[in-house]
Amino acid sequence: MALKKIILHVNALDKISSINPEIYGHFSEHLGRCIYDGIYVGEKSSIPNIRGIRTDIVQALKKIKVPVLRWPGGCFADEYHWKDGIGEKNSRKKMINTNWGGVTEDNSFGTHEFFDLCEQVGCEPYLAGNLGSGTVRELAEWIEYITFDGISPMADLRRKNGREKPWKLKYLGIGNENWGCGGSMRPEYYADEYRRYQTFCKNFSGNELFKIACGPNSNDYYWTEVMMKNVNQWHTRGISLHHYTLPTGDWNKKGSARNFSIPEYYETIFKTLYMEELITRHGEIMNRYDPQHNVGLIVDEWGCWYDVEEGTNPGFLYQQNTMRVAIVAACNLNIFNNHSDRVVMANLAQAVNALQALILTEGEKMVLTPTYHVFDLYKSHQGAKALYCYVDNQIIGDGTEIPMISASASVKDDKMTITLANCSVSDEAEIDISVFGFEAKSAEAHILTGECHALNNFDYPQKVMPEAFDVNPSDRGVFVVIPPCSVVSIILS
């Protein structure tokens, strides 16, 4: 093992912007075992639950301070008809989940259950509305059902279904991936549809919607250009961006989540760092139309997408989660923090049992993945001011070259949080962190580390766990030596 020297400068006097807590957001789709047999087990389950929602999952999500949860999709959203998911469960309409395995969706988890989940977790709900196969009236009535306080057909229906007071709803996505599963639309056509749909989504009873237009797929800069030209001025507060880390770049052969070579590891990190370029280039287009940054970039689907685990339903997107993807999570979150002047929300895909999950379940067992622990280590960035950081980096890799260290820093309530990922699988990093404009008297640090294939499973649920890590602050900053493949969070106060 070699030791590589790195210098990191953090300037506490150079604040980029506030890190919206929503950057640490999540996504739960009616896909595979994310909702059913995941978050929602039903009231009759022997697994401890409150009104059908798993208690251990709620507790785990609360611990990492999940700020916002996106639902019901994904591709599912543009086939979802919300009225099928309210009222007596036995009489709810069943449908085919055509996107995800062709299974029967019984609609037992609907609007009331989702808002109940958000209330239990203490997070903001983020609804993805159906523009692809729904109607303007249907979406308008959903908003009325959820947010209207007075007498109206939809508010009365909500009361009849047991909810007297309206809920608060801030985040509303008008469609999902309307360039693909949400209707295969051209950006010009979608922009007109967006304008029509958003017109009828009203602010009722003091509720104020934050409307989000469907944005680009990865590097589709033309889509962003058309959106900014045509929807920018139509009450749009956000434009979404979807980008998955697909190690092979081939949707038909994505590779295994747990069996991979070292060159494949570096390829994965290289591909994930592309997020920086995407945000910068989409941001440049947005800057031309919106120099005031009134419209936020909402990275509402990100994470690693691999082949499903052997023997599982290919439509359920169930994959394991190793230290490799913990590094992916850490790098992405650092990028979002460093671009928090434009990125106002991000939602990892997905919360439970799908894609780069935070949590895996099997019957009553629950495993917190390495990705979960990264969110735990990073949670003190939420609501803090992002600080300018400069890394004098080393270049590493095997086949693909990447910078060794990913970093971000923020300050809140006289505490500075510095988060680091050592992306090398073989070398330690000796990092001399010089902090300017902040006097640190004490330091507390935690580390998540392991061989890049290390993971938590149902037999060994605690193989990869955060641990306390010794660091010593000096009058110049702090000096650390961090092992290969590790994520570290340092709090100076």
Catalytic residue numbers read 177, 301
CB closer to ligand AHR out of 215 and 450: 215
Yes or no: say if 408 and 443 are a contact pair by the CB < 8 Å rule.
no
**Please, what is the minimum distance in Å from the beta carbon of residue 313 to ligand AHR?**
14
CA separation (Å) from 182 to 131, 132, 133? 7, 5, 8
Burial class (CB in 10 A: 0-12, 13-18, 19+), 206: exposed
**What pairs with residue 420 in β-bridges?**
407, 488
CB closer to ligand AHR out of 8 and 349: 349
**Please, what is the minimum distance in Å from the beta carbon of residue 349 to ligand AHR?**
4
Q: Is the dihedral of CA 44, 45, 50, 51 positive or negative?
A: negative
Helices 153-160 and 136-147 cross at an angle (nearest 10°) of 60
The closest of 418, 451, 286, 490 to 11, measured between CA atoms, is 418
Number of Cβ atoms within 10 Å of the Cβ of 111: 22
Tell me the CA end-to-end span of the chain in Å, nearest whole number.
32
Give the separation between CA 35 and CA 46, rounded to whole angstroms.
Answer: 17
Tokens at residue 126, please?
Answer: 């983020």
Give the separation between CA 342 and CA 295, rounded to whole angstroms.
Answer: 8
CB closer to ligand AHR out of 49 and 350: 350
What one-character-per-residue DSSP string does 216-273 give? Answer: -BTT-HHHHHHHHHHTTTTTEEEEEEEEEE-TTS-TT----SS---HHHHHHHHHHHH
Give the separation between CA 228 and CA 288, rounded to whole angstroms.
Answer: 9
**Please, what is the minimum distance in Å from the beta carbon of residue 176 to ligand AHR?**
5
**What pairs with residue 415 in β-bridges?**
412
- Identity of the amino acid at 206: G
Residues engaged in binding ligand AHR (CB under 6 A) = 29, 73-75, 176-177, 301, 349-350, 355
**Please, what is the minimum distance in Å from the beta carbon of residue 177 to ligand AHR?**
5
CB closer to ligand AHR out of 230 and 350: 350
**Please, what is the minimum distance in Å from the beta carbon of residue 119 to ligand AHR?**
24
**Please, what is the minimum distance in Å from the beta carbon of residue 314 to ligand AHR?**
13
CB closer to ligand AHR out of 305 and 438: 305
CB closer to ligand AHR out of 22 and 177: 177
CB closer to ligand AHR out of 282 and 385: 282
**Please, what is the minimum distance in Å from the beta carbon of residue 259 to ligand AHR?**
22
CB closer to ligand AHR out of 101 and 483: 101
Yes or no: say if 435 and 486 are a contact pair by the CB < 8 Å rule.
no
Give the separation between CA 339 and CA 39, rounded to whole angstroms.
Answer: 31
The closest of 267, 489, 254 to 375, measured between CA atoms, is 489
How far from chain centre, in Å, is Cα 476? 35
Number of Cβ atoms within 10 Å of the Cβ of 399: 12
**Please, what is the minimum distance in Å from the beta carbon of residue 328 to ligand AHR?**
15
The closest of 244, 397, 252 to 325, measured between CA atoms, is 244
Residue whose tokens read 């939420």? 382
User: What is the number of the residue whose Cβ is closest to ligand AHR?
Assistant: 74
